[in-house]
Amino acid sequence: MPPPGVCMNIINARRKKDGYGTTVNPEKFLNQDFQQLKQYCLIRRVRFVDDMFPPDRNSIGEGLLSSTDMARVVWLRPGKLVPNPSFTVDGVSRFDFGQGLVGNCWFLASIGALTFQTHIFEQVVPLQQRYEEDYCGLFHFKFWRFGRWVDVVIDDKLPTIDGRLIFVHSTDPTEFWPALLEKAYAKVCGSYADMNAGTPAEAMVDFTGGVHVCVQLQTPPPNLWELMCRAGQSKSLMGCGTPQGKTSENTVLPNGLVQGHAYTVTGVKQVMSQGTPVNLVRVWNPWGQGEWKGDWSDKSPFWQTVSPEDREMCLSVADDGEFWMTLEDFCRFYSDLDICCLCPDFLDGTSSCHWKTSFYDGRWVAGTTAGGCMNNLESFWTNPQYRVTVEKLFGECSAKQGENSMLMSLMQKPDKRNRRLVQNLHIGFSIFKLTKEVSSILTQSLGTV
Protein backbone atom coordinates (compact mmCIF):
# COMPACT_ATOMS: atom_id res chain seq x y z
CA MET A 1 0.00 0.00 0.00
CA PRO A 2 1.40 3.46 -0.93
CA PRO A 3 2.41 5.74 1.95
CA PRO A 4 -0.02 8.43 3.17
CA GLY A 5 -0.33 11.36 0.84
CA VAL A 6 0.50 9.46 -2.35
CA CYS A 7 -1.68 10.20 -5.37
CA MET A 8 -3.07 6.70 -5.51
CA ASN A 9 -4.15 5.07 -8.75
CA ILE A 10 -7.84 5.02 -7.93
CA ILE A 11 -10.27 3.26 -10.19
CA ASN A 12 -12.23 5.70 -12.30
CA ALA A 13 -15.80 4.90 -11.44
CA ARG A 14 -17.26 6.28 -14.64
CA ARG A 15 -19.40 3.40 -15.82
CA LYS A 16 -20.34 2.08 -19.21
CA LYS A 17 -23.89 2.57 -20.34
CA ASP A 18 -24.79 -1.06 -19.70
CA GLY A 19 -22.60 -1.42 -16.60
CA TYR A 20 -23.77 -2.51 -13.16
CA GLY A 21 -25.19 0.29 -11.07
CA THR A 22 -26.60 2.27 -14.02
CA THR A 23 -30.23 3.09 -14.80
CA VAL A 24 -30.23 0.26 -17.34
CA ASN A 25 -28.73 -2.26 -14.93
CA PRO A 26 -29.22 -0.97 -11.36
CA GLU A 27 -28.05 -2.70 -8.22
CA LYS A 28 -30.66 -4.68 -6.31
CA PHE A 29 -31.39 -2.83 -3.10
CA LEU A 30 -31.09 -5.24 -0.15
CA ASN A 31 -30.49 -7.98 -2.76
CA GLN A 32 -34.16 -8.11 -3.76
CA ASP A 33 -34.64 -8.97 -7.43
CA PHE A 34 -37.85 -7.45 -8.82
CA GLN A 35 -38.22 -9.84 -11.78
CA GLN A 36 -37.57 -12.97 -9.73
CA LEU A 37 -40.00 -11.88 -7.01
CA LYS A 38 -42.65 -11.03 -9.59
CA GLN A 39 -42.34 -14.39 -11.33
CA TYR A 40 -42.53 -16.20 -8.01
CA CYS A 41 -45.70 -14.34 -6.99
CA LEU A 42 -47.39 -14.79 -10.37
CA ILE A 43 -46.62 -18.53 -10.53
CA ARG A 44 -47.70 -19.10 -6.92
CA ARG A 45 -50.65 -16.70 -7.32
CA VAL A 46 -49.78 -14.83 -4.16
CA ARG A 47 -49.40 -11.16 -3.40
CA PHE A 48 -46.02 -9.89 -2.35
CA VAL A 49 -45.34 -8.93 1.27
CA ASP A 50 -41.98 -7.25 1.77
CA ASP A 51 -40.15 -8.76 4.74
CA MET A 52 -37.35 -6.17 4.30
CA PHE A 53 -39.79 -3.30 4.90
CA PRO A 54 -42.72 -5.01 6.60
CA PRO A 55 -46.14 -3.40 7.16
CA ASP A 56 -45.60 -2.68 10.86
CA ARG A 57 -44.72 0.11 13.30
CA ASN A 58 -40.99 -0.19 12.63
CA SER A 59 -41.49 0.88 9.03
CA ILE A 60 -43.44 3.94 10.20
CA GLY A 61 -40.75 4.79 12.72
CA GLU A 62 -40.70 6.75 15.95
CA GLY A 63 -42.09 10.18 16.67
CA LEU A 64 -44.63 10.55 13.88
CA LEU A 65 -47.70 9.08 15.54
CA SER A 66 -48.90 8.89 19.11
CA SER A 67 -49.22 5.45 20.66
CA THR A 68 -52.98 5.75 20.31
CA ASP A 69 -52.82 6.57 16.60
CA MET A 70 -50.15 3.91 16.00
CA ALA A 71 -52.56 1.31 17.37
CA ARG A 72 -55.17 2.46 14.84
CA VAL A 73 -52.91 2.04 11.81
CA VAL A 74 -54.04 -0.58 9.31
CA TRP A 75 -51.88 -1.42 6.28
CA LEU A 76 -54.12 -1.78 3.24
CA ARG A 77 -53.54 -2.43 -0.42
CA PRO A 78 -55.07 0.12 -2.83
CA GLY A 79 -57.68 -2.44 -3.90
CA LYS A 80 -59.05 -2.31 -0.35
CA LEU A 81 -59.24 1.50 -0.44
CA VAL A 82 -60.92 2.05 -3.82
CA PRO A 83 -62.72 -0.28 -6.26
CA ASN A 84 -60.44 0.29 -9.28
CA PRO A 85 -56.96 1.53 -8.29
CA SER A 86 -54.52 2.80 -10.92
CA PHE A 87 -50.81 3.46 -10.87
CA THR A 88 -51.26 6.66 -12.88
CA VAL A 89 -54.35 8.54 -14.06
CA ASP A 90 -54.07 10.82 -17.11
CA GLY A 91 -50.30 11.14 -16.85
CA VAL A 92 -48.30 12.61 -13.97
CA SER A 93 -48.32 16.14 -12.59
CA ARG A 94 -47.19 18.16 -9.58
CA PHE A 95 -50.89 18.66 -8.85
CA ASP A 96 -51.44 14.91 -8.39
CA PHE A 97 -50.65 14.81 -4.68
CA GLY A 98 -50.49 16.56 -1.31
CA GLN A 99 -48.35 16.11 1.79
CA GLY A 100 -49.35 13.82 4.65
CA LEU A 101 -48.31 13.66 8.31
CA VAL A 102 -44.58 13.20 7.77
CA GLY A 103 -42.54 16.40 7.38
CA ASN A 104 -41.10 15.50 3.97
CA CYS A 105 -42.00 18.64 2.03
CA TRP A 106 -38.40 18.58 0.77
CA PHE A 107 -39.03 15.20 -0.85
CA LEU A 108 -42.40 16.17 -2.33
CA ALA A 109 -41.01 19.47 -3.63
CA SER A 110 -38.40 17.41 -5.48
CA ILE A 111 -41.10 15.15 -6.93
CA GLY A 112 -42.90 18.29 -8.12
CA ALA A 113 -39.77 19.31 -10.01
CA LEU A 114 -39.31 15.76 -11.28
CA THR A 115 -42.74 15.70 -12.96
CA PHE A 116 -41.54 18.35 -15.44
CA GLN A 117 -38.77 16.11 -16.80
CA THR A 118 -40.45 13.11 -18.41
CA HIS A 119 -37.24 11.22 -19.27
CA ILE A 120 -35.81 11.56 -15.76
CA PHE A 121 -39.18 10.79 -14.15
CA GLU A 122 -39.47 7.52 -16.08
CA GLN A 123 -35.99 6.51 -14.91
CA VAL A 124 -37.14 6.82 -11.30
CA VAL A 125 -40.74 5.68 -11.74
CA PRO A 126 -41.16 2.81 -14.25
CA LEU A 127 -44.52 3.70 -15.80
CA GLN A 128 -45.17 0.26 -17.28
CA GLN A 129 -46.35 -0.88 -13.84
CA ARG A 130 -50.08 -1.57 -13.74
CA TYR A 131 -52.88 -2.64 -11.46
CA GLU A 132 -54.83 -3.88 -14.45
CA GLU A 133 -52.46 -6.68 -15.55
CA ASP A 134 -49.96 -9.05 -13.90
CA TYR A 135 -50.76 -7.51 -10.52
CA CYS A 136 -49.21 -9.25 -7.52
CA GLY A 137 -48.84 -6.38 -5.04
CA LEU A 138 -45.23 -5.74 -6.13
CA PHE A 139 -43.73 -2.46 -7.39
CA HIS A 140 -40.26 -1.02 -7.86
CA PHE A 141 -38.52 2.36 -8.21
CA LYS A 142 -34.98 3.48 -8.98
CA PHE A 143 -32.84 5.97 -7.07
CA TRP A 144 -29.26 7.15 -7.44
CA ARG A 145 -27.43 6.48 -4.19
CA PHE A 146 -23.82 7.64 -3.76
CA GLY A 147 -22.60 6.83 -7.24
CA ARG A 148 -24.83 3.90 -8.15
CA TRP A 149 -28.41 3.45 -9.26
CA VAL A 150 -30.37 1.01 -7.08
CA ASP A 151 -33.66 -0.74 -7.80
CA VAL A 152 -35.94 -0.64 -4.74
CA VAL A 153 -38.70 -3.23 -4.39
CA ILE A 154 -41.81 -2.66 -2.23
CA ASP A 155 -45.19 -4.20 -1.61
CA ASP A 156 -48.23 -1.95 -2.00
CA LYS A 157 -49.53 -2.20 1.56
CA LEU A 158 -49.97 1.43 2.68
CA PRO A 159 -50.52 2.75 6.24
CA THR A 160 -54.04 4.07 6.84
CA ILE A 161 -56.21 5.26 9.71
CA ASP A 162 -59.97 4.90 9.32
CA GLY A 163 -59.51 3.91 5.70
CA ARG A 164 -57.50 7.03 4.75
CA LEU A 165 -53.83 7.30 3.81
CA ILE A 166 -51.84 8.98 6.58
CA PHE A 167 -48.90 10.03 4.44
CA VAL A 168 -48.83 11.42 0.90
CA HIS A 169 -52.24 11.27 -0.75
CA SER A 170 -53.38 11.80 -4.33
CA THR A 171 -55.86 14.36 -5.58
CA ASP A 172 -57.53 11.51 -7.45
CA PRO A 173 -58.13 8.80 -4.81
CA THR A 174 -57.68 6.06 -7.43
CA GLU A 175 -54.09 7.12 -8.32
CA PHE A 176 -51.28 5.59 -6.25
CA TRP A 177 -47.88 6.34 -7.82
CA PRO A 178 -47.15 9.16 -5.30
CA ALA A 179 -47.86 7.00 -2.25
CA LEU A 180 -45.87 4.06 -3.63
CA LEU A 181 -42.91 6.28 -4.59
CA GLU A 182 -42.92 7.76 -1.08
CA LYS A 183 -42.95 4.27 0.43
CA ALA A 184 -39.97 3.19 -1.70
CA TYR A 185 -37.96 6.22 -0.59
CA ALA A 186 -38.99 5.62 3.03
CA LYS A 187 -37.57 2.12 2.68
CA VAL A 188 -34.26 3.55 1.47
CA CYS A 189 -34.23 6.03 4.37
CA GLY A 190 -35.09 3.33 6.93
CA SER A 191 -38.67 4.37 7.78
CA TYR A 192 -41.25 7.05 7.13
CA ALA A 193 -40.03 8.88 10.22
CA ASP A 194 -36.53 8.97 8.75
CA MET A 195 -37.88 11.20 5.97
CA ASN A 196 -38.78 13.91 8.47
CA ALA A 197 -36.90 17.16 7.60
CA GLY A 198 -34.42 17.62 4.78
CA THR A 199 -33.56 19.73 1.75
CA PRO A 200 -34.79 19.39 -1.84
CA ALA A 201 -31.18 18.96 -2.99
CA GLU A 202 -30.93 15.57 -1.27
CA ALA A 203 -33.85 14.03 -3.13
CA MET A 204 -33.10 15.80 -6.43
CA VAL A 205 -29.64 14.24 -6.51
CA ASP A 206 -31.15 10.84 -5.66
CA PHE A 207 -33.57 11.28 -8.59
CA THR A 208 -30.93 12.26 -11.13
CA GLY A 209 -27.40 11.43 -10.00
CA GLY A 210 -26.71 14.89 -11.36
CA VAL A 211 -24.84 18.05 -10.52
CA HIS A 212 -26.15 20.11 -7.61
CA VAL A 213 -25.55 23.82 -7.11
CA CYS A 214 -26.90 25.79 -4.13
CA VAL A 215 -27.39 29.56 -4.41
CA GLN A 216 -27.71 31.65 -1.24
CA LEU A 217 -30.48 34.12 -2.06
CA GLN A 218 -29.59 36.66 0.62
CA THR A 219 -26.42 37.36 -1.37
CA PRO A 220 -27.40 36.25 -4.88
CA PRO A 221 -24.95 36.32 -7.79
CA PRO A 222 -25.44 39.17 -10.26
CA ASN A 223 -26.35 36.70 -13.01
CA LEU A 224 -29.02 34.87 -10.98
CA TRP A 225 -31.79 35.52 -13.51
CA GLU A 226 -29.67 34.25 -16.41
CA LEU A 227 -28.65 31.22 -14.34
CA MET A 228 -32.28 30.33 -13.60
CA CYS A 229 -33.29 30.81 -17.22
CA ARG A 230 -30.47 28.54 -18.40
CA ALA A 231 -31.40 25.98 -15.73
CA GLY A 232 -34.95 25.92 -17.02
CA GLN A 233 -33.80 25.49 -20.61
CA SER A 234 -31.40 22.67 -19.68
CA LYS A 235 -34.17 20.63 -18.02
CA SER A 236 -32.89 21.12 -14.50
CA LEU A 237 -34.77 20.43 -11.28
CA MET A 238 -35.10 23.50 -9.06
CA GLY A 239 -36.19 23.73 -5.43
CA CYS A 240 -36.07 26.45 -2.82
CA GLY A 241 -36.69 26.95 0.89
CA THR A 242 -37.89 29.64 3.27
CA PRO A 243 -35.86 30.57 6.37
CA GLN A 244 -36.56 28.94 9.70
CA GLY A 245 -38.56 31.22 11.96
CA LYS A 246 -38.30 31.86 15.68
CA THR A 247 -41.73 30.30 16.18
CA SER A 248 -42.68 26.70 15.50
CA GLU A 249 -42.08 25.14 12.10
CA ASN A 250 -44.68 25.35 9.33
CA THR A 251 -46.06 28.66 10.60
CA VAL A 252 -47.95 30.38 7.80
CA LEU A 253 -46.89 34.03 7.60
CA PRO A 254 -49.27 36.91 6.77
CA ASN A 255 -47.81 36.99 3.24
CA GLY A 256 -48.95 33.37 2.70
CA LEU A 257 -45.51 31.74 2.78
CA VAL A 258 -44.62 28.99 5.25
CA GLN A 259 -41.59 29.26 7.51
CA GLY A 260 -38.93 26.56 7.23
CA HIS A 261 -40.68 25.01 4.24
CA ALA A 262 -39.47 23.55 0.93
CA TYR A 263 -40.97 24.66 -2.38
CA THR A 264 -40.49 23.83 -6.06
CA VAL A 265 -39.46 26.39 -8.66
CA THR A 266 -41.69 25.47 -11.61
CA GLY A 267 -40.91 28.25 -14.07
CA VAL A 268 -39.37 31.62 -14.87
CA LYS A 269 -40.74 34.21 -17.28
CA GLN A 270 -40.14 37.82 -18.19
CA VAL A 271 -43.28 39.86 -18.89
CA MET A 272 -43.81 43.46 -19.97
CA SER A 273 -45.76 45.50 -17.45
CA GLN A 274 -46.64 49.01 -18.61
CA GLY A 275 -43.61 49.02 -20.86
CA THR A 276 -41.21 47.75 -18.19
CA PRO A 277 -39.75 44.20 -18.18
CA VAL A 278 -40.48 42.25 -14.99
CA ASN A 279 -38.69 39.00 -14.10
CA LEU A 280 -41.12 36.53 -12.53
CA VAL A 281 -40.50 33.23 -10.75
CA ARG A 282 -43.21 30.57 -10.45
CA VAL A 283 -43.18 28.61 -7.20
CA TRP A 284 -45.24 25.63 -5.98
CA ASN A 285 -46.09 24.59 -2.44
CA PRO A 286 -46.05 20.76 -2.05
CA TRP A 287 -48.96 21.01 0.36
CA GLY A 288 -51.05 21.51 -2.77
CA GLN A 289 -52.53 24.70 -1.33
CA GLY A 290 -51.46 27.88 0.43
CA GLU A 291 -49.99 30.63 -1.72
CA TRP A 292 -48.07 33.92 -1.74
CA LYS A 293 -50.33 36.94 -1.21
CA GLY A 294 -48.01 39.75 -2.32
CA ASP A 295 -47.28 41.40 -5.67
CA TRP A 296 -48.05 39.22 -8.70
CA SER A 297 -49.99 36.69 -6.62
CA ASP A 298 -53.07 35.12 -8.21
CA LYS A 299 -55.40 38.02 -7.45
CA SER A 300 -52.85 40.82 -7.76
CA PRO A 301 -53.89 43.85 -9.87
CA PHE A 302 -50.48 43.71 -11.55
CA TRP A 303 -51.81 41.00 -13.85
CA GLN A 304 -54.05 43.61 -15.46
CA THR A 305 -50.92 45.46 -16.64
CA VAL A 306 -49.63 42.67 -18.90
CA SER A 307 -50.80 41.50 -22.29
CA PRO A 308 -53.86 39.24 -22.49
CA GLU A 309 -51.60 36.53 -23.96
CA ASP A 310 -49.21 36.59 -20.99
CA ARG A 311 -52.10 36.72 -18.55
CA GLU A 312 -53.78 33.71 -20.14
CA MET A 313 -50.49 31.80 -20.32
CA CYS A 314 -49.39 32.42 -16.73
CA LEU A 315 -52.32 33.14 -14.49
CA SER A 316 -54.32 30.53 -12.61
CA VAL A 317 -56.48 31.69 -9.72
CA ALA A 318 -57.01 28.19 -8.32
CA ASP A 319 -55.69 27.54 -4.80
CA ASP A 320 -53.37 24.80 -6.05
CA GLY A 321 -50.26 25.96 -4.18
CA GLU A 322 -48.65 27.53 -7.26
CA PHE A 323 -48.02 31.25 -7.65
CA TRP A 324 -45.82 33.90 -9.26
CA MET A 325 -43.60 36.49 -7.58
CA THR A 326 -40.88 38.88 -8.71
CA LEU A 327 -37.26 37.77 -8.63
CA GLU A 328 -36.62 40.50 -6.04
CA ASP A 329 -39.33 39.14 -3.72
CA PHE A 330 -38.10 35.62 -4.37
CA CYS A 331 -34.64 36.57 -3.10
CA ARG A 332 -36.14 38.53 -0.21
CA PHE A 333 -38.38 35.82 1.20
CA TYR A 334 -36.52 32.61 0.28
CA SER A 335 -33.16 31.63 1.74
CA ASP A 336 -31.70 29.30 -0.88
CA LEU A 337 -32.17 27.94 -4.36
CA ASP A 338 -31.16 24.38 -5.30
CA ILE A 339 -30.50 23.52 -8.94
CA CYS A 340 -29.85 19.94 -10.01
CA CYS A 341 -29.18 18.81 -13.56
CA LEU A 342 -27.86 15.70 -15.28
CA CYS A 343 -25.10 17.85 -16.78
CA PRO A 344 -23.83 21.28 -15.64
CA ASP A 345 -24.76 22.93 -18.95
CA PHE A 346 -26.74 25.58 -17.11
CA LEU A 347 -23.54 26.95 -15.55
CA ASP A 348 -22.05 28.16 -18.83
CA GLY A 349 -25.07 28.13 -21.11
CA THR A 350 -23.76 25.46 -23.50
CA SER A 351 -25.58 22.35 -24.61
CA SER A 352 -23.45 21.16 -27.53
CA CYS A 353 -20.28 20.81 -25.42
CA HIS A 354 -20.53 17.65 -23.33
CA TRP A 355 -18.90 17.32 -19.94
CA LYS A 356 -16.90 14.25 -18.95
CA THR A 357 -17.65 12.81 -15.53
CA SER A 358 -15.55 10.76 -13.15
CA PHE A 359 -16.35 9.31 -9.75
CA TYR A 360 -13.76 8.43 -7.09
CA ASP A 361 -14.42 6.38 -3.99
CA GLY A 362 -12.17 6.81 -0.95
CA ARG A 363 -12.10 7.35 2.79
CA TRP A 364 -10.28 8.94 5.67
CA VAL A 365 -8.81 6.48 8.15
CA ALA A 366 -7.87 7.60 11.64
CA GLY A 367 -4.13 7.47 12.26
CA THR A 368 -3.14 7.00 8.62
CA THR A 369 -5.04 9.08 6.02
CA ALA A 370 -7.00 11.53 8.21
CA GLY A 371 -4.65 14.50 8.26
CA GLY A 372 -7.08 17.25 9.19
CA CYS A 373 -7.45 20.66 7.52
CA MET A 374 -4.82 23.22 6.48
CA ASN A 375 -4.46 24.26 10.13
CA ASN A 376 -2.67 20.95 10.69
CA LEU A 377 0.27 21.45 8.36
CA GLU A 378 2.37 18.68 9.90
CA SER A 379 -0.26 16.04 9.04
CA PHE A 380 -2.29 17.65 6.23
CA TRP A 381 -0.15 15.91 3.61
CA THR A 382 -1.32 12.49 4.81
CA ASN A 383 -4.87 13.11 3.51
CA PRO A 384 -5.86 11.11 0.41
CA GLN A 385 -4.72 12.86 -2.76
CA TYR A 386 -6.14 12.42 -6.23
CA ARG A 387 -4.61 13.77 -9.41
CA VAL A 388 -7.08 15.15 -11.98
CA THR A 389 -6.25 16.33 -15.49
CA VAL A 390 -8.42 19.01 -17.05
CA GLU A 391 -8.16 18.25 -20.74
CA LYS A 392 -7.87 20.82 -23.49
CA LEU A 393 -11.03 21.83 -25.33
CA PHE A 394 -11.23 21.52 -29.08
CA GLY A 395 -13.25 22.97 -31.93
CA GLU A 396 -16.61 24.54 -31.24
CA CYS A 397 -16.42 24.01 -27.47
CA SER A 398 -13.09 25.82 -27.24
CA ALA A 399 -14.50 28.79 -29.18
CA LYS A 400 -17.61 28.93 -26.95
CA GLN A 401 -16.09 28.53 -23.52
CA GLY A 402 -12.63 29.95 -24.00
CA GLU A 403 -11.21 28.26 -20.90
CA ASN A 404 -11.37 24.76 -19.48
CA SER A 405 -13.90 24.25 -16.69
CA MET A 406 -14.10 21.75 -13.85
CA LEU A 407 -16.86 21.21 -11.32
CA MET A 408 -16.08 19.11 -8.24
CA SER A 409 -18.28 17.98 -5.38
CA LEU A 410 -17.77 15.84 -2.28
CA MET A 411 -20.43 13.44 -0.98
CA GLN A 412 -20.39 11.70 2.39
CA LYS A 413 -21.68 8.14 2.48
CA PRO A 414 -23.79 7.14 5.50
CA ASP A 415 -22.62 4.44 7.87
CA LYS A 416 -26.15 3.47 8.91
CA ARG A 417 -29.30 2.62 7.00
CA ASN A 418 -31.62 4.81 9.07
CA ARG A 419 -31.27 8.33 7.78
CA ARG A 420 -31.98 10.04 11.12
CA LEU A 421 -29.14 8.12 12.81
CA VAL A 422 -26.48 9.19 10.32
CA GLN A 423 -23.90 11.55 11.76
CA ASN A 424 -22.56 13.98 9.20
CA LEU A 425 -18.91 14.69 9.85
CA HIS A 426 -17.03 17.85 8.95
CA ILE A 427 -15.26 17.00 5.70
CA GLY A 428 -13.91 18.99 2.80
CA PHE A 429 -11.27 19.19 0.11
CA SER A 430 -8.71 21.61 -1.27
CA ILE A 431 -7.72 22.04 -4.90
CA PHE A 432 -4.11 22.82 -5.83
CA LYS A 433 -2.62 23.51 -9.23
CA LEU A 434 0.06 20.96 -9.98
CA THR A 435 2.82 22.36 -12.19
CA LYS A 436 4.68 20.23 -14.70
CA GLU A 437 7.87 20.50 -12.67
CA VAL A 438 6.28 19.28 -9.43
CA SER A 439 4.39 16.54 -11.30
CA SER A 440 7.65 15.30 -12.79
CA ILE A 441 9.36 15.22 -9.39
CA LEU A 442 6.44 13.32 -7.82
CA THR A 443 6.37 10.83 -10.65
CA GLN A 444 10.07 10.11 -10.31
CA SER A 445 9.99 9.74 -6.50
CA LEU A 446 6.71 7.83 -6.15
CA GLY A 447 6.58 5.91 -9.39
CA THR A 448 4.14 6.15 -12.26
CA VAL A 449 0.66 7.18 -11.11
Residues 6+ apart with CB under 8 A from 410: 427, 428, 429
Write down the catalytic residue from 41, 104, 105, 169. Answer: 105
If one counts every other C-beta atom within 10 angstroms of the C-beta of residue 19, the result is: 12
Write down the catalytic residue from 104, 196, 285, 383. Answer: 285
Using alpha carbons, select from 123, 354, 90, 355 the residue that is nearest to residue 237: 123
For the beta sheet containing 322-326, the strands, ordered from the edge strand earlier in sequence to the opposite edge, are 211-216, 336-341, 237-241, 262-273, 276-284, 322-326
Report the alpha-carbon distance of residue 285 to residue 297 in Å, rounded.
13
Asked about 261 being catalytic, the answer comes back as yes
Using alpha carbons, select from 134, 203, 130 the residue that is nearest to residue 168: 203
Query: DSSP letter at 391?
Result: P
Write down the catalytic residue from 261, 331, 343, 383. Answer: 261
Where in 42-130 does DSSP place strands (E)?
74-76, 97-98
Q: Are 274 and 317 in contact (CB under 8 A)?
A: no
Report the alpha-carbon distance of residue 277 to residue 271 in Å, rounded.
6
Active site residues: 105, 261, 285
